[in-house]
């Protein structure tokens, strides 16, 4: 076992504050985080835990730089250097997402007419992988998550929830990025496919990826998570600060 | 001074029509291969801004500087008219909302594509013809229509032809004004998919004006939200659409009907 000090930090959040101001609804201000800090190392899977409304998905979106923040730093290790996403230019954020930061949401954002095989190989193509190789790797991944081959040439718009979820998982894992953010990756999956996703997470950890996840399924969480980040505490802290 | 690798540098651009501020102190940088979406209601000044950027409308004040293939940055309005026209032919493209504004309706489809190639110096008829055929295919136009004038095409086909005409010469920067504007939804989806693929494949920088936030999400890396000539918010496309900060952006995003 590597000692704590030897593990390379992959994600380092410090002093994060985030509030939503709803201008269209009487400028209501909703404070979500006030001074949140966290750290995730290489090969570690951290589960975000807390009741609905505790800000788990908001934190995931912040880690992906999909949501902006009011104060603090969101540093991720990108090509060996810690890069602060909160202060990076859009094209830097896109570059970090391409090479470093993967995100598997609960829902697939379907693009009309784009075939499943292309949806899954896209992250590889964005990294400059040739089409033939990208397709090969996408096929392997689709087979692995049990998406029937007859669907690979179709756009996933008409697929079932579970099938779309698996396409999403395949797309998220295919490029083997160093950091993975998983928002309920097993939400609409049966036991076999849950096992399959757990296997993918284990492999990602073994190759040194840092994983942050929201897992409502306790069986999955207990199997893959090395640490739990309790969001109740951050909520309480925000309550005091407010 | 603009950064070394910036393609288009825009600084404090303003343009008024009488009392109306069509563009009010707009500044931004665009890098090679980047797709910038400009959204806002009609009358927000986005089309006027696009025309200024493309050298078609001179701003009252401010600087628009373009860096050419040799790495030389120059103020596009300090150039002579022929220089600017040359740039528009060799380095830029402009896709109009109405394809009839960007095509010559009475010459053949192949001629529309070939003409653009001849403008940048192609002379060999066989090569031009071959390239036109390739592009008919790329924008999914039936090869058999290559000798028909676009007057006989549907709106969606005309728009795809206009895109082929603009991209055939390998521009580095393409301006698009509501390219999916007048089309049926099913035709729009096809065109969007095509644009998305071409833009990525060719690594061309694009400034696209649209009032359709779904189009902006699908095509652009970055967004600028305009209201009354001013940029009220800008950032990564998904940030602006998923976590809009400005009152007006929030209103725009919350006004979309969920299907």
Q: A160: exposed, middle or buried (C-beta count within 10 Å: 0-12, 13-18, 19+)?
A: exposed
* Pairing state between β A227-230 and A210-214: unpaired
Is residue A94 within 8 Å of residue B221, measured between CB atoms?
yes
Q: Chain B contact for A30, CB < 8 A?
A: no
Residues in chain B closer than 8 A to A93 (CB atoms): 236
**Residue B203 sits at the chain A interface (C-beta within 8 Å):** no
B239 touches chain A (CB under 8 A): yes
Residue of B nearest to A112 (CA): B189
What residues in B contact A111, CB-CB < 8 Å?
Answer: 193, 196, 218
Nearest to B193 among A20, A66, A112 (CB): A112
Indicate yes or no: CB of A68 within 8 angstroms of CB of B242: no
Question: What is the mean pLDDT of each successive set of 10 residues along chain A, which is 242 residues long?
Answer: 69 97 91 95 96 92 96 97 96 96 84 88 94 97 96 92 93 97 91 95 97 94 96 59 38
The reply to whether residue A111 touches residue B196, judged by beta carbons under 8 angstroms, is: yes
Coil, strand or helix at B119: helix
Residue B221 three-state SS = coil
Give A112 to chain B, closest Cα distance, Å.
6
Q: B222 CA to chain A: closest CA distance, Å? A: 7
Alpha-carbon distance of A43 to A8, in angstroms, equals 9
Mutual orientation of helices B109-119 and B125-138 as an angle, nearest 10°?
A: 120
ipTM score assigned to the predicted complex: 0.89
Interface test with B, best of A112, A115, A125, A128 (most B CBs within 10 A): A112
> Is A61 within 8 Å of B245 when comparing Cβ atoms?
no
- The pLDDT value recorded for residue B97 is 93
Report the DSSP pairing between strands B61-67 and B35-39.
Answer: unpaired
B221 and chain A: CB distance < 8 Å anywhere? yes
Helix, strand or coil, per DSSP, at residue B198: helix
Residues of chain B with Cβ-Cβ distance to A101 below 8 Å are none
What are the chain A neighbours of B243 within 8 Å (beta carbons)? 20, 61, 66-68
Q: Which CATH number fits domain A1-100+177-242: 3.40.225.10, 3.10.20.740, 3.30.565.10, 3.40.50.300?
A: 3.40.50.300
Residue A10: how many CB atoms within 10 A of its CB?
A: 25
Residue B248 C-beta-side C-alpha neighbours within 13 Å: 14
Nearest CA in chain B to A114: B193
What percentage of chain B has pLDDT greater than the value 70?
Answer: 97
CA-based torsion, A117, A120, A122, A126: positive or negative: negative
The answer, for A93 touching chain B at a CB cutoff of 8 Å, is: yes
Contact between residue B104 and residue B112 where contact means Cβ atoms under 8 Å apart: yes
Query: Do β-strands B222-227 and B230-236 pair in parallel, antiparallel, or remain unpaired?
Result: antiparallel
The first and second tokens of residue B166, run together, are 């603009």
Q: Where are the domains of chain A?
A: 1-100+177-242, 109-176
The reported pLDDT for the residue numbered B42 is 83
Lookup result for tokens 């032919």 = B89
Neighbours of B201 (CB within 10 A): 11
Q: Which residues contact A138 (CB under 8 A, 6 or more apart)?
A: A117, A120, A121, A124, A170, A174
The count of residues in chain A is 242
Q: Does B75 touch chain A (CB under 8 A)?
A: no
Measured distance CA(B144)–CA(B124) in Å, rounded: 22
Starting at the edge strand found earlier in the chain, the sheet holding B92-95 runs B92-95, B173-177, B205-209, B35-39, B222-227, B230-236
Cβ <8 Å between B193 and A111:
yes
Q: What are the structure tokens assigned to A169, written together?
A: 């998982």
* pLDDT number for residue B257: 66
**What is the dihedral angle through the alpha carbons of A84, A88, A94, A97, rounded to the nearest 10 degrees?**
0
Alpha-carbon gap, residue B100 to B162, rounded angstroms: 9
Contacts of A66 in chain B (CB under 8 A): 238-239, 242-243
Residues whose CB falls within 8 Å of the CB of residue A199, separated by 6 or more in sequence, listed in order: none
Beta strands in B46-101 (DSSP E): 61-67, 73-75, 92-95
Residue A88 C-alpha, separation from nearest chain B C-alpha, in angstroms: 11
A68·B239 Cβ contact <8 A: yes
In the block, tokens 């201008």 appear at A23
Return residues 152-211 of A near B (CB < 8 Å): none
User: Closest partner residue to B245 among A68, A93, A114, by Cβ?
Assistant: A68
Contact A23 B235 (CB under 8 A): no
| Contact A4/B at CB under 8 A | no
* pLDDT tens over chain B, length 259 residues: 455 689 999 999 999 998 888 999 999 999 999 999 999 988 889 999 999 999 999 999 999 999 999 999 999 999 999 999 999 988 999 999 999 999 999 999 999 999 999 988 888 888 999 999 999 998 989 989 999 999 999 999 999 999 999 999 999 999 999 998 878 877 887 788 888 888 888 889 999 999 889 899 989 999 999 999 999 999 999 999 999 999 999 999 988 766 5
pLDDT digits (tens, 9 = 90+) for B62-110: 999 999 999 999 999 999 999 999 999 889 999 999 999 999 999 999 9
Question: For residue A71, what are the β-bridge partners?
Answer: A17
Q: Is B31 on the interface with A (CB under 8 A)?
A: yes
Interface A:B, Cβ pairs < 8 A? 48
């Amino acid at each position: 076992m590597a000692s704590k000090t030897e593990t390379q930090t992959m994600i380092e959040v410090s002093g994060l504050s985030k509030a939503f101001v709803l201008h269209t609804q009487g400028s209501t201000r909703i404070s979500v985080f006030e001074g949140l800090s966290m750290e995730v190392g290489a090969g570690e899977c951290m589960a975000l835990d807390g009741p609905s409304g505790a800000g788990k998905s908001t934190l995931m979106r912040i880690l992906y730089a999909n949501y902006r923040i009011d104060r603090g730093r969101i540093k991720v290790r990108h090509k060996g250097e810690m890069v602060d996403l909160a202060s990076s230019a859009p094209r830097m954020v896109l570059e970090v997402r391409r090479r470093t930061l993967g995100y598997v949401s609960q829902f697939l954002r379907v693009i009309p007419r784009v075939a499943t095989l292309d949806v899954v190989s896209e992250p590889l193509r964005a990294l400059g992988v040739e089409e033939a190789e990208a397709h090969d790797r996408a096929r392997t991944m689709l087979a692995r998550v049990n998406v029937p081959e007859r669907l690979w040439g179709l756009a996933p718009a008409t697929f079932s929830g579970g099938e779309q979820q698996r396409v999403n998982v395949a797309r998220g894992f295919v490029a083997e990025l160093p950091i993975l953010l998983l928002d309920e990756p097993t939400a609409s999956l049966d036991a076999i496919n849950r096992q399959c996703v757990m296997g993918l997470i284990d492999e990602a950890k073994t190759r040194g990826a840092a994983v942050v996840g929201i897992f409502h399924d306790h069986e999955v969480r207990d199997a893959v998570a090395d640490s739990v980040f309790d969001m109740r505490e951050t909520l309480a802290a925000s309550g005091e600060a407010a | 001074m603009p950064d070394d690798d910036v393609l288009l540098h825009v600084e404090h651009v303003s343009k008024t029509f009488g009392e109306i501020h069509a563009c009010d102190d707009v500044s931004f940088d665009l890098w090679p291969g980047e797709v910038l979406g400009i959204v806002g209601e009609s009358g927000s000044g986005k089309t006027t801004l696009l025309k200024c950027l493309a050298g078609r409308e001179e701003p009252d004040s401010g600087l628009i500087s373009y860096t050419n293939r040799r790495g030389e940055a120059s103020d596009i309005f300090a150039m002579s008219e022929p220089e600017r026209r040359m740039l528009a032919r060799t380095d830029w493209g402009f896709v109009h909302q109405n394809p009839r504004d960007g095509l010559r309706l009475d010459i053949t489809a192949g001629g529309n594509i070939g003409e653009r190639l001849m403008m940048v110096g192609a002379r060999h008829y066989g090569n031009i013809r071959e390239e036109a055929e390739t592009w008919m295919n790329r924008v999914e136009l039936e090869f058999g229509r290559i000798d028909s004038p676009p007057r006989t095409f549907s709106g969606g086909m005309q728009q795809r032809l206009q895109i082929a005409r603009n991209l055939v010469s390998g521009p580095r920067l393409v301006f698009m004004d509501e390219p999916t504007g007048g089309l049926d939804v099913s035709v729009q989806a096809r065109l969007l998919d095509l644009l998305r693929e071409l833009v990525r494949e060719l690594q061309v920088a694009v400034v696209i004006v649209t009032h359709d936030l779904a189009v902006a999400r699908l095509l652009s890396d970055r967004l600028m939200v305009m209201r009354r000539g001013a940029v009220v918010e800008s950032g990564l496309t998904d940030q602006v659409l998923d976590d809009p900060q400005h009152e007006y952006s929030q209103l725009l995003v919350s006004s979309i009907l969920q299907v």
